[in-house]
Structure 1
Amino acid sequence: MNIEGCTAIVTGGNRGIGEGFVTELLEAGAARVYVAARQLADAQAAASRDPRLVAIELDVTREDQVAAAAARCTDVNLLVNNAGAFAMTTLLTAPDLSALRSEIDTNYIGMVSMVRAFAPILKANGGGAVVNVLSAGGIVAVPVMGGYSPSKFAARAASDCLRAELAPQGTQLSALIVGSVDTRMADHVTGIDKASPRDIARAGLLAVRRNIAEHDTDRHAIEVRAFNARDPHTLARSMAKPFLDAARKA
């Protein structure tokens, strides 16, 4: 798919990787980019820098807002599912299941909801493309990522299912495996070289241009996949080490 002249919608487009996508789409010559955010004021602030940007209030966990976005953005031929939730807790230490529900609702169900709503629009506009921003935590289970890692596993599986369903209408789907990125969500991560949000966006647009089904966007994601392929049991033990160490001290 050619990015130049396209019309895109980017969920969570007001900051982080979403903002990176918006910037890279503008530089690549997109005709229009809908900047979607939970708070309209955030979307408006992000969209104020270029006349090609249009602010959209959109919480992907709310079906009424997803439907309203689809009804308004009928010219879209590129959907970037970037909106995400990360509670930074574990499955057993969280006080209740609300964090888990939020992560699954946003990272998995919200993504599927957006694809369902925009699939007819993409078809009507010639097929187009979908980009799902996933995570290295979706190919290797990370215990400290509680509900986030399982939600990205689910989103990765759903991406495979959706890709097959979308293919007959000429819509391509690229799943991005993202490692550590210099965003607010990853402020707590240390000791790892972090990619910039624009690096991830450039890798994502490359996947669109070349119709890459699943693309590792940065060095960390590539290293995680390679290490997991070489020695999955050692990687699993290293992921669980913080909990084993805590158990020994208890």
Structure 2
Amino acid sequence: MDIKGCTALVTGANRGLGKAYADALIARGAAKVYAGARDPSTITDHRVTSLQLDVTSPEHITAAVAACPDVNLLINNAGTMLATPILDPQAETALRTELEVNVFGMLRMAQAFAPVIAQNGGGAIANMLSVVSWYVYPFNATYCATKFAGLAITNALRVQLKAQNIDVVGVYAGFIDTAMAAAVEAEKTPPSQVAERTLDGLASRIDHVYADQAAEDLWAMVRDDPSQLEAMSQALWDAGSPWTF
């Protein structure tokens, strides 16, 4: 799609990657950017239209549809990560919390805004996924489970929305240099790079955006020999070193 002149809605837009998406959209000539956040007072950029939006709240989403009838690009960026191994005593609680934002929130937003985008002549939905859509990082297993589910939802949306002229793009990255990955000692990707590659992918109408070197390298493993990813997961767990490679 043409980013210049589009009307976009970015979830989780008050900081980190969400703010980078808003900045990149404005730089490329978007006509309007709605910046969604649980607390709209945290959005101080006068170039965007702040919007109270908690993606776990059906009421907020219904209000957002009414407030943003001109949207033709939705960027589902909002996410949460609780860094929980699968046998941790708090794993079920963590998984439920992460599912509400990373899966059900993304699904609710797509269901609510797909008709809006269609009525506006078509456009696109970009879902922020992760390289852990493809393999399990064992110290963060509940989050991985939500990204596996997010990938399935993204692919299903693409199938159903094609006839309505709505592209659905999955975006994959490794660790991004935001507050979510503050504890990570490994190399991290600038959020601006992820945003720029996402917009490039939307403009080129590709289905999958590999937003950094980690995504490119890990996708090569998925394509060529998935057993490498299973071995990597085991090696990470055996080494007992969370957040490092």
- Indicate the TM-score class for this superposition, using the shorter chain for normalisation: over 0.9
Q: Would the aligned equivalents of 2:2 and 2:203 in 1 still touch at CA under 8 Å?
A: yes
Q: Would the aligned equivalents of 2:138 and 2:236 in 1 still touch at CA under 8 Å?
A: no
Shift of the alpha carbon at 1:231?
Answer: 3.7
- Listed one character per residue, the Cα deviations across residues 30-62 of structure 1 (whole Å, up to 9, x for unaligned) are 1110110112222xxx2x3334x1111111111
Give the secondary-structure state (helix, strand or coil) at the position aligned to 1:90: coil
The CA distance in 1 between the partners of 2:124 and 2:90, in whole Å, is 39
In structure 2, what is the equivalent of residue 50 of structure 1?
Answer: 46
Does residue 24 in structure 1 map to residue 20 in structure 2?
Answer: no
The CA distance in 2 between the partners of 1:168 and 1:232, in whole Å, is 32
In structure 2, what is the equivalent of residue 90 of structure 1?
Answer: 85
In structure 1, what is the equivalent of residue 229 of structure 2?
Answer: 235
Shift of the alpha carbon at 1:105?
Answer: 1.3
1:162 to 157, 163, 169: 157
Does residue 74 in structure 1 map to residue 49 in structure 2?
Answer: no
Letter in 2 for 1:141: V
Give the secondary-structure state (helix, strand or coil) at the position aligned to 1:97: helix
The CA distance in 2 between the partners of 1:34 and 1:100, in whole Å, is 29
Going from structure 1 to structure 2, the CA distance change for 1:21 and 1:94 (only over 3 Å counts) comes to: farther
Shift of the alpha carbon at 1:228?
Answer: 3.6
In the TM superposition, what are the counterparts of 1:1-250 in structure 2 within 5 Å? 1-42=1-42, 46=43, 48-51=44-47, 53-95=48-90, 97-192=92-187, 194-244=188-238
Q: Would the aligned equivalents of 2:84 and 2:91 in 1 still touch at CA under 8 Å?
A: no
Shift of the alpha carbon at 1:94?
Answer: 3.8
The CA distance in 2 between the partners of 1:176 and 1:245, in whole Å, is 29
Q: Would the aligned equivalents of 2:84 and 2:90 in 1 still touch at CA under 8 Å?
A: no
Shift of the alpha carbon at 1:245?
Answer: 5.0
Shift of the alpha carbon at 1:97?
Answer: 1.9
Give the secondary-structure state (helix, strand or coil) at the position aligned to 1:30: coil
Provide the aligned C-alpha RMSD in A: 1.4
Letter in 2 for 1:118: F
In structure 1, what is the equivalent of residue 243 of structure 2?
Answer: none
Give the fraction of aligned pairs with identical amino acids, expressed as a percent.
Answer: 36
The CA distance in 2 between the partners of 1:84 and 1:37, in whole Å, is 11
Which structure 2 residue ranges, 5 or more long, are not aligned?
A: 241-245
Q: How many residues align?
A: 240
After the TM superposition, which of the residue ranges 30-39 and 90-99 deviates more from structure 2? 90-99
Give the secondary-structure state (helix, strand or coil) at the position aligned to 1:154: helix
